[in-house]
Amino acid sequence: MAAKKRGRKKRTIDDGFGAVPRYHQVYLVLSQRLREGFYLPERPLPTEQDLMQEFGLSRVTIRHALAEIEREGLIRRVRGSGTFPI
């Protein structure tokens, strides 16, 4: 009896230059928006839930991307208030 292959989602996006992890794709989009002034400093970024819907990805993936952006110093996260551009 042949073993069934389980259908797993790809964890990368092929952008023509090779496979790019999904969190990094989100990181690239959001960091570009931040650098271009798309988000105002006094206003919070969209919620994790909103970003999950926009990108069609899990909360873990969105949080990974936001953590990378925070490490770069482009955002600050305030528990209970949101994520803000710096």
CA distances for 81 relative to 45, 47, 56, 70, angstroms: 10, 10, 23, 15
Q: Is residue 2 part of a domain?
A: no
For the residues 15-21, what does the mean pLDDT come to? 71
The total domain count for the chain is 1
For the residues 4-32, what does the mean pLDDT come to? 74
How far separated are the first and last CA of the chain, in Å rounded?
58
d(CA 73, CA 67): 10
pLDDT band at 11 (very low <50, low <70, confident <90, very high): low
Residues of the domain holding 78: 17-85
Q: Is residue 78 part of a domain?
A: yes
Q: Is residue 6 part of a domain?
A: no
Q: Is residue 10 part of a domain?
A: no
CATH code, 56: 1.10.10.10
Q: Is residue 60 part of a domain?
A: yes
Q: Is residue 80 part of a domain?
A: yes
For the residues 10-39, what does the mean pLDDT come to? 84
Q: Is residue 43 part of a domain?
A: yes
